[in-house]
Amino acid sequence: MANSKPVMSMYDAPMWESIGRHRLELQTCSRCARFRYPPAPICANCLSLDYRWHPIAGRGTILSWVIFHRQYFDDHVPPYNVVAVQIEEGPIILSNLVGPVPEGSWIGAEVEFCYGEHAGRMQHQVRLREHSSIAAESA
Amino acid sequence: MRPTSANDQSGAEMRDRNLAKVAAVVGVGHTDWTADHGRVRAGEKPHDSYGYAAIAFTRALEDAGLHRDQVDGLIVGPTTAYERVGELLGIDARWGGQADAMLAVIQACMAIKAGLAEVVALVYGNDQRSASARYGGADPVGGGAFLSYVYHAPWGFTSQGALYAMMFRRYMAVTGITEADLGQVAVAQRLAASRNPNAIMQKRITLDEYLSSAYVCEPLHLFDYCLINDGGVALIIAESSRARRIRLDPVYIHGVGRSDLNHGATSLEPRLFDFYRPAQAQSAEQVFNMAGVGPADMDVLQVYDSFSCHIPLALEGYGYCKIGDAGRFMREDGISLDKGLPINTSGGHLSESYMQGWNHQIESVRQLRRECGERQVANCRYVHYSSDVAGKAVSIIYGR
């Protein structure tokens, strides 16, 4: 077995640097303003090559989730979850839900992005928004 | 699915039917899956991918009653190099290529239609189990072809089963289908395998056993996953008039269809937003138009079942039931040899062997040749094969 590792194309590297700064940035198309994920050389919507990096607001909704019961990587010990989150800007991003999990179905739960150290690199994660607001109020 | 207007017969419909009954399968062969499975489990390595491919080819050739020198086209499966297979089998083809099972069949029809070949051998061998091929983790099989297989690894998201688990979880929420409904697939296919001496897993299972089995990637259970094994499969496809001279009962390819969803594929949009339906609908329209038949005419449905959830998706996408009705269809109408529409009559990838769609092709042919013994579907006239791996919906209709 081995540790998991990110795909690191020349377009991915700036995104991972932004994750390292605890604020996920994605490319936005200079012509049609569409966000790209994964990072890409061209806009699949309007075929423009031009883009700039833009931080995402950091909020999204869970579309689906799974629980791994089998181990595939040294750095991911089951059971652990993976969630598919549609961010407000449009794209779907896969991440891990940390902290409390919803009762029953997770689909439709509102989440916000947070950041944590994983196997020597900084990664994005998500947590339930209601939980974080409760935590903020109690703090 | 049929042409809507009788007046619109010339242009579109003629094009639609361009590959209908152009070619027929005249020979099929496979390696000894059960015996080799036992040997691999005992730590032996019976053959490598090329060896399995070679054995399957000689058996298909013998089944067709042909000599090697009568083969003028060669298509090899994805795990072996084209030139080396041709070298091993002594075939200097005038047309050749490399393709997966479903596209190999379609490419053979295209080459024959174009006059580039007349008798095409399709040859597949895979030593994936004895070679410890890994479909999840670091450097998984298929990672070079599908970015979605590797892109989400930093969050532990790996293995093709996990992609289908993510898709099926949302599909459950949208349609109301349950894990018990999905369990009908594994139970029905194991029933079929119990009547198939070639199947690796022949012991029947109950729905309770399915539900109490371990999760691999929840909500998918162990029984929802295909069986990784060594083996080989080969088919000989010939131009139709030639096929009739080769044997009395050639199995014709009545139609083919294809439609691909690539948009947003890495972030799983075709899975989570569309459940592959637009691709399946287009592929269905093309294949049924070309064959001049519809879902109600099919006696057997073969579905590429790397995971069980391909079956409900195909039932809805190809028009065998209404959208959102697959759970009820499987539970009440039935999908087994004993009840309803027989699906994956050999046991499929879940219970016969994971031969990457190749075993479904030869099972289709054998059902139509009425060679299937205990698992034979009575009066089998048409078999529909479909695959929708990663949202690429490919469809073939075989018939007498």
A46 touches chain B (CB under 8 A): no
Residue A137 has pLDDT above 70, yes or no: no
Q: How far A95 CA lies from chain B's nearest CA (Å)?
A: 6
Side chain identity at residue A23, one-letter code: R
Between residues B135 and A36, which one has the greater pLDDT?
A: A36
Angle subtended at Cα B317 by Cα B319 and Cα B204, rounded to the nearest 5 degrees: 90
Residue A27 has pLDDT above 90, yes or no: yes
Cα-only R_g, chain A = 16
Cα separation, B321 vs B298, whole angstroms: 13
In a domain, B252, yes or no: yes
3-state secondary structure of B352: coil
Unique residue bearing structure tokens 């490419």: B107
User: Given CB atoms, is B141 within the 8 Å cutoff of chain A?
Assistant: no
Residue with tokens 């407000």: A88
- Per-residue pLDDT of B253-270, as tens digits, reads 999 999 999 999 999 999
- Search chain A and give the residue with CA nearest B150: A7
Interatomic CA distance for residues A79 and B62, integer angstroms = 51
Q: Is the pLDDT of residue B8 over 60?
A: no
Average pLDDT over residues B375-387: 97
How is A94-132 classified by DSSP, letter by letter?
A: EE-B-S---SS--TT-EEEEEEEEETTEEEEEEEEHHHH
Q: Inspect the interface and report whether the beta carbons of B162 and A82 lie closer than 8 Å.
A: yes
Q: What is the pLDDT of residue B3?
A: 46
Predicted pLDDT at B163: 97
Q: Average pLDDT of chain B?
A: 95
**Would residue B191 count as lying in a domain?**
no
A11/B contact by beta carbon, under 8 A: no
Selecting from A7, A37, A80 the residue whose C-beta is nearest the C-beta of B150 gives A7
Give the lowest-confidence range in B8-12, B23-27, B185-189: B8-12
- A34 inside 8 A of chain B by CB: no
Would you say residue B141 lies in a domain? no
Judge whether residue B10 has pLDDT over 60: no
Give the span between the Cα atoms of B75 and A21, in whole angstroms. 51
Residues of B (162-201) whose Cβ lies below 8 Å from A: 162, 165-167, 169-170, 173
Q: Flag if A5 and B138 touch (Cβ within 8 Å).
A: yes
Domain boundaries, chain A: 7-55, 57-139
DSSP string covering B316-329: HHTTSS-TT-HHHI
pLDDT at A133 > cutoff 90: no
Mutate to test the interface with B, among A35, A64, A98, A125 (most CBs of B within 10 A): A64
Question: CA A118 to CA A99: how far, in whole Å?
Answer: 15
**Does residue A66 belong to the interface with chain B, where contact is any CB pair within 8 Å?**
yes
Do residues B216 and B168 touch, judged by C-beta distance below 8 A? Answer: no
> In this complex, is the C-beta atom of B137 within 8 Å of any C-beta atom belonging to chain A?
yes
Closest CA to B91 of B57, B124, B113, B68: B68
How far is residue B61 CA from its own chain's centroid?
A: 21
**pLDDT range class, residue A139, cuts 50, 70, 90:** very low
Tokens 């109301």: give the residue: B176
The DSSP line for B76-142 is E-TTS-HHHHHHHHT---SEEEE--HHHHHHHHHHHHHTTS-SEEEEEEEE-TTTTT--SSSSS-TT
Q: Is B210 on the interface with A (CB under 8 A)?
A: no
CB contact B223 to A (< 8 Å): no
Q: Does A107 touch chain B (CB under 8 A)?
A: yes
Q: Is residue B82 situated within a structural domain?
A: yes
Options 2.40.40.20, 2.40.50.840, 3.90.870.10, 3.40.718.10; CATH for A57-139 is 2.40.50.840
Contact B349, B387 (CB under 8 A): no
| B113-164 pLDDT per residue, tens | 999 999 999 999 999 999 888 889 988 888 888 999 999 999 999 999 999 9
Cβ of B244 under 8 Å from any chain A Cβ?
A: no
pLDDT top residue among B143 and B374: B374
| B301-310 pLDDT per residue, tens | 999 999 999 9
Cα–Cα distance measured from residue B107 to residue B278, given in angstroms and rounded to the nearest whole number:
23
Domain that holds residue B73: 15-131+227-399
**What domain count does chain B have?**
1
Q: Which residues of B touch A116 (CB under 8 A)?
A: none
Contact B153 A7 (CB under 8 A): yes
Report CB contact under 8 Å: A84, B153: no
Contact: A123, B170; criterion CB under 8 Å: no
Cβ neighbours of B157 in A, within 8 Å: 66, 82, 94
With CB atoms and an 8 Å threshold, state whether B215 touches A80: no
CATH number of the domain that residue B318 is part of: 3.40.47.10
Other CB atoms within a 10 A radius of the CB of residue B214 amount to 10
The two tokens of residue A16 are 């991972």
φ, ψ dihedrals at B308, nearest 5°? -60, -30
Comparing CA positions, the residue from B344, B342, B369 lying closest to residue B354 is B344
Residue A135: band (very low, low, confident or very high) from pLDDT cuts 50, 70, 90 = very low
